[in-house]
Chains A and B, each alone.
Chain A
Amino acid sequence: MDTKLNIDLENFRLETRAWLEVNCPASMRKPIKDSSEMFWGGRNPEFTSQDQKIWFENMLEKKWIVPYWEKKYGGGGLSAEENIILTQEMSRLGCRRPLFSFGIAMLGPALLKFATEEQKLNYLPEIVEGKIWWCQGYSEPGAGSDLAGLQTKAEDMGEYYLINGSKVWTTYANKADWMFCLVRTDNKVSKHNGISFILIDMSTKGVSVRPIKLISGKSPFCETFFENVRVPKSNLVGNLNEGWTIAKYLLSHERKMIGGVGVTETKKEVHELAKLNLECSSGQLNNSLLRADIAKFEMDETIFELTIQRIIDEDKSGKKASQLSSFFKYYGTELNIKREELLIQIGGNNSLVWTPTEENDGNAARKFCRSKGNTIEGGTSEIQLNIIAKRILNLPT
């Protein structure tokens, strides 16, 4: 490798490290306890602490909210190598993400690939600045696993599209400012070929939202209803009736996220929690059956992480791995469910507490309940296995 480049990168690392040391407040270097500690931005931004605000504003000024997007879209224009260094240095210090956003992780990649230049310049900088909170309108009451069966329709009225229908499982629809949405624009062709990808301002007349409460007692999910909602035609992304291509592209991003790829949060190992909660003799858990379950789980957890690493490394060396997103989604979520089951067992009485008290916040039981959704949202485990069987193993249909 070029020596000068190496020196430049090393300088970049040192500068980055020094900058983060100065500009990331200490409380922003602690792991996030629950979703209330995440900053999502939006038209009515809610900072839960002064440090959170300082951290966001510092990163915004430094253009490091989305460091790897081009500068003209509000990004930091960092090279792939520089971005890796920034990520490494942030995780070294334990820095929180300054902004949580479906705009960055899900809409952004779609706009970059499919939108017009005008749309990119219009929407991307607002995502970076945290001015607009985006939500995703995909699933419908009648179109969950069979997403392409969606029925919310957008009629061409000449100057605008007229939208009628409803969406379900829209995360934070009650707080979001805009929605990227899949709508039916042609019902005479096969179901995959009549779908379009459109952007909707949630403050438009005719849009209403109702939150959904989950078995965990809380939820970021909502139902969203559209009654004669008028959307400008310029809000269409990509070609008319080619929305399914965009949706598939985004779903593979989403699956990687849910499957845990790229999540740097470090969890306490299950056996450590077990040793804190259960009896041991000479350093060994007395409950040998539970001990075996933990050993088996940690084996798979470690090897799954290695597999993510291997596939990322193969990807970098030019081998196409994108078709493995179903594998990541399936295995990652199944593991998470197993983890929560183990934690409930390990905690005993303590992990069953539901109503918060001073000693017990009741989060264990709620997290356990919430985890049951992991193997359903973003395409059920069964759908992922179907995809693997058909697209990777080429089994007959």
Chain B
Amino acid sequence: MPLILTDEEKMLKEAANEFLASNSSLKSFRKLRDNNYQSFDQDLWKGMIEMGWTALTIPEAYGGLDFGYTGLGQILEETGKTLAKSPLISSILFSATAIRLCDNENLKSKWLPELMKGNILMALALDEKAHFDPNNINSTAKLSGNKYVINGKKKMVLDGSNADYFIVVVNEANMTSFFLIDVKSKGIEIKSDILMDTGEYSSVVFNKVSVASENKLNIKTNGDSILQSLLNITSAGLASEMLGSMQAAFEKTMDYIKEREQFGNKIGKNQSLQHRAALLFCEIELCKSIVLKALKAIDNDETKKIEFSHLAKAKLGEVLKLTTNEAIQMHGGIGVTDDADIGFYLKRARVIQHLMGDKNYHLNCIAKIKGY
């Protein structure tokens, strides 16, 4: 299978690029931030739903388009370019995927269409520590009568304060389980943090929260393998956004060094900058390949999808960090002012490279898989 986009995927990407160019910009990103860190723009979100983006990864049986993650990846790459804020990651990439991977048919047919239409929002409650460590979940679920009791403390719950439901990942008798829990349930306490990317990330305490057994998402399917698949998909999806941000930050920087003059010359004439720019170009070429490969491997259910997803998140983390650092440095003084937009990419980069595991986390996973 060739490592290129199909014609349909190309058209989708082009349409997304056009839509975002006229409906989302760094100006609106700045406006949301200055408006007390507003989570997202409702009109933009409605537009995204109308464009069908929330339906791309939902199976046809639940009213979706079943277009695949390569498609959603193209959308996320485009939103990464303009840093467009929306629940696309928290509600669709994270939550709808988690539900889709599980086998509770009642919950799937009830909630997947609702998520797709944007009628409700969900947030994934997975992290518990300062560092990503999905193999050591301390939150627990215990069956008591026909209900489960959930206890635990969750962190980095993206868009947690806007959500109607949490998808909570817990340890149930040393196996992973997934629960769908109403945010208004008794025993839930939510605290919000605004992180440096202007995003809202909640810390959520579950204190003896009682959940009906019908709200357990995984019935027969092994929760550990659902979690593995979920992590592959979220890694590849986040890497897609990172690819978009990196290309935009690089392009803006190239434009800048072609215009800015010092000592009577464009600064981009300096070989010291040219070589660093060329090096970034090479690294970005590598990033394009691994993101596309990871997405395709997921859609085609290739055996190496686990390795490629880890590689995508690791490589993109590395190169996005390099690109945004270089972008600031090449902009010079203006780069460290709030007036310039380039700093937004740096701040988003630091959060997204950390979200769902950084480069070291993912490289360590690959080394373990390969047995060294």
Interface residues, chain A, with chain B CB atoms under 8 Å away: 269, 271, 274-275, 280, 283-285, 291-292, 294-296, 298-300, 302-304, 306-307, 309-311, 313-314, 316-317, 324, 327, 330-331, 382, 384-386, 388-390, 392-397
Contacts and interface: CB of A to CB of B under 8 A. Distances in A.
Contacts of A283: 371-372
A281 to B, nearest CB: 11
Contacts of B3: 306, 309-310, 313
Contacts of A393: 254, 274, 277-278, 281
Nearest to A334: B282
A304 B285 CA distance: 9
A11 B240 CA distance: 42
Given A327-B285, A397-B269, A385 B372 contact: no
B278 A385 contact: yes
Contacts of A384: 278
A313 B277 CA distance: 25
Given A303-B315, A314-B4, A271 B289 contact: no
Interface string B253-277: 0100110000001101101011101
9 contacts: A275-B371, A294-B367, A302-B311, A306-B3, A313-B3, A327-B281, A386-B271, A390-B274, A396-B265
Most chain-B Cβ atoms within 10 A of its Cβ — which of A324, A385, A390?
A385
Interface of B: 2-4, 254, 257-258, 265-266, 268-269, 271, 273-275, 277-279, 281-282, 285-290, 292-293, 311, 314-315, 360, 363-364, 366-368, 370-372
Nearest to A308: B289
B23 to A, nearest CB: 28
Contacts of A331: 282, 286
Nearest to A316: B2
Q: Which 8 A-B pairs give the minimum distances between C-beta atoms?
A: A389-B274, A388-B278, A313-B2, A385-B278, A307-B289, A295-B363, A271-B372, A306-B289
Most chain-A Cβ atoms within 10 A of its Cβ — which of B273, B286, B364?
B286
Contacts, number: 115
A170 B42 CA distance: 67
Given A306-B3, A309-B3, A331-B282, A395 B290 contact: no
Contacts of B314: 299
B281 A388 contact: yes
A295 B361 CA distance: 11
A291 B278 contact: no
Given A303-B311, A388-B278, A396 B4 contact: no
Most chain-B Cβ atoms within 10 A of its Cβ — which of A275, A284, A306, A330?
A306
Contact of A395 (B268, B367, B371, B372): B268
A197 B4 CA distance: 38
Given A271-B372, A314-B4, A388-B281, A303 B289 contact: yes
B131 to A, nearest CB: 16
B315 A299 contact: yes
A295 B362 CA distance: 10
Contacts of B277: 389, 393, 395
A388 B372 contact: no
Contacts of A306: 3, 289-290, 293
Nearest to B251: A393
A394 B251 CA distance: 12
A390 B266 CA distance: 14
Given A309-B289, A310-B4, A396-B268, A389 B311 contact: no
Contacts of B279: 385
A256 to B, nearest CB: 15
Most chain-A Cβ atoms within 10 A of its Cβ — which of B258, B265, B285, B311?
B285
B367 A307 contact: no
